A and B are shown apart, each in its own frame.
Chain A
Amino acid sequence: MTFRLDLVWNARLPLLHGTLVTIEVALLALGVALILGLPVALLRASRLPVFWLPAFLFIQFFRGTSLYVLILWVFFGLAIALDINLPPFTAAVLCLGLLNSAYMAEVYRTGLGTVGFGQYEAARALGLSNLSTFRLIVLPQALRVVIPSAANLFVDMLKDAAIVGVVGVWDLMKQADRLTKFHFRPFEFYTASAVIYFLLVLGFSRLVSVIERHYSRHVQARGI
């Protein structure tokens, strides 16, 4: 059996397009997770049950849910139950984002936890408002912990995004599936997609370690 590299080469455009869709889904979902995770983390940190309980349940629910199940449920289930018809791409981004916002909330919580009480005290003693204290003192320090973790989470999301084809998003895997069926050459196209995923993850992981190194500067004195 020969490996028909020419078939893969001829299909480079759909494969490239699928790769871009995969990156797009993961990036937009990361955006959802980053934006949604912060308020969830802040609510979770409250001492009042009306605030922390919903946040706690949100985190538990999405951490305990499979992406595969969630995406099918949102795309097909919501359509039937509530007549909400989301486009496949939107449903995919939303589900991947929601699920990971629960993880992001925990990442934010860890990050916020690394900022010592003395930092709040010092900022308030200087006359800063609570909002300025959060924006200029607490958040920047928390982000040093949050950003590397978020970058790691993004790499996971890239891989998890491989299932969004089930609702009809033309991502890398769905393109590979189509090409496989068209040419009856599963070995070539699944190998090609595996290599592309590998390169993607490798590339972004390198980026992550650069980011990690960048944000670990001046980090020893955190909380002092």
Chain B
Amino acid sequence: MAEEILKLVNITKSFGDHQVLKGINLTVHRQEVVVIIGPSGQGKSTLLRCVNLLEWPDSGEVIFLGKNYAVKHSWQDRLRGRGQEDLRYLRTHIGMVFQHFNLFPHLTALQNCTLGLEQALKIPKAEAEQRAKAQLERVGLGDKLHAYPDTLSGGQKQRVAIARSLVMEPKLMLFDEVTSALDPELIGGILAEMKRLAEEGMTMIVVTHEMGFAREVGSRIVFLCEGQIIEEGPCDQILTHPQEPRTRQFLSAILKH
């Protein structure tokens, strides 16, 4: 088996007295595409956000490339900037793409892409621009380098957002319903982009309702419901012979559309 990129051990997370994640265990190997499906409001986004510690789990381990990052540092270490340094390492090595793009509207496409390189990775401006330009060209936006986000279509915005993550050369990419806010005719292009990425060997965790994409690209489907992994397995098996009644119920509901 390929190297373990990410291992989540017994992750729990509550908001107030509402427990959103109730002990999640998940391992992702190099070049795997793990597709997370499940009904709305069941903790899919929260789980993704725990991976790069945008959300801090209440308990459990977030092991990335063999090291647990979900540790509270002592205040002495925090004063020395240890926690910050670890967090920066984790986040610069994990890319994340959001449903609503979250592009920086005051920066051009190119500047959106160079920001992380220059600020978090301390790469000199000239090199950062060169890398950002190459990345934007690869997602088909070579002619939009100096465009501001609000002059771009939804599909183009999401490409910029993908380029912004990829330019950091992450070891793992997180996609959170990245096609949900797009017009139907633009969805295919973004899914194709993600498929190309998977074929190039990128390790990915993808939250999506696009079952066609899951079947074609996914290595594994994880069904998340009520804060727990109800069922997990190869895509064909989950999509055609789900074992759990709740999985069956969910799939029949979304496949009807």
Contacts and interface: CB of A to CB of B under 8 A. Distances in A.
B86 to A, nearest CB: 11
B120 A126 contact: yes
B98 A118 contact: yes
B105 A221 contact: yes
A118 B105 contact: no
A121 B91 CA distance: 11
A126 B91 contact: yes
Contact of A127 (B104, B120, B149): B120
Interface string B107-130: 000000001100111000000000
Contacts of B54: 121, 124-125
Interface string B83-113: 0100111011011101011111110000000
Interface of B: 52, 54, 84, 87-89, 91-92, 94-96, 98, 100-106, 115-116, 119-121, 148-150, 157, 161, 164-165, 168
Contacts of B84: 129
Nearest to A122: B102
A148 to B, nearest CB: 15
A221 B148 contact: yes
The residue in A122, A128, A141 that gathers the most chain B C-beta atoms within 10 A of its C-beta is A122
Contacts of B106: 140-141, 144, 218
Contacts of B115: 123, 126, 128, 136
A65 interface: no
B50 to A, nearest CB: 13
Contacts of B148: 218, 221
A132 B52 CA distance: 18
A119 B88 contact: no
Contacts of B89: 127
Given A127-B121, A128-B115, A118 B100 contact: yes
B204 to A, nearest CB: 15
Contacts of A66: none
Interface in A66-83: none
B103 A125 contact: no
Given A218-B150, A224-B149, A127 B100 contact: no
A151 interface: no
A129 B104 contact: no
Interface in A100-147: 116, 118-119, 121-129, 132, 136-137, 140-141, 144
A-B CB proximity, top 7 nearest:
A221-B150, A127-B120, A126-B116, A122-B102, A127-B92, A118-B102, A221-B105
A2 interface: no
8 contacts: A123-B104, A124-B54, A127-B89, A127-B120, A132-B119, A218-B149, A220-B150, A221-B103
B6 to A, nearest CB: 15
Contacts of B102: 116, 118-119, 121-122, 224
B155 to A, nearest CB: 14
Contacts of B92: 126-127
Given A127-B121, A218-B106, 6 more contacts: A122-B161, A127-B91, A137-B104, A218-B148, A221-B103, A224-B149
Contacts of A128: 115-116, 119-120
A214 interface: no
Interface in A24-59: none
A111 to B, nearest CB: 13
A206 interface: no
Contacts of A224: 100-103, 105, 149-150, 157
A221 B148 CA distance: 9
Interface string A187-222: 000000000000000000000000000000011111
Contacts of B103: 122, 221, 224
A127 B53 CA distance: 11
Contact of B98 (A121, A132, A221): A121
Contacts of A218: 105-106, 148-150
A17 to B, nearest CB: 41
B80 to A, nearest CB: 15
Contacts of A220: 150
A153 B96 CA distance: 41
B46 to A, nearest CB: 13
A222 B91 contact: no
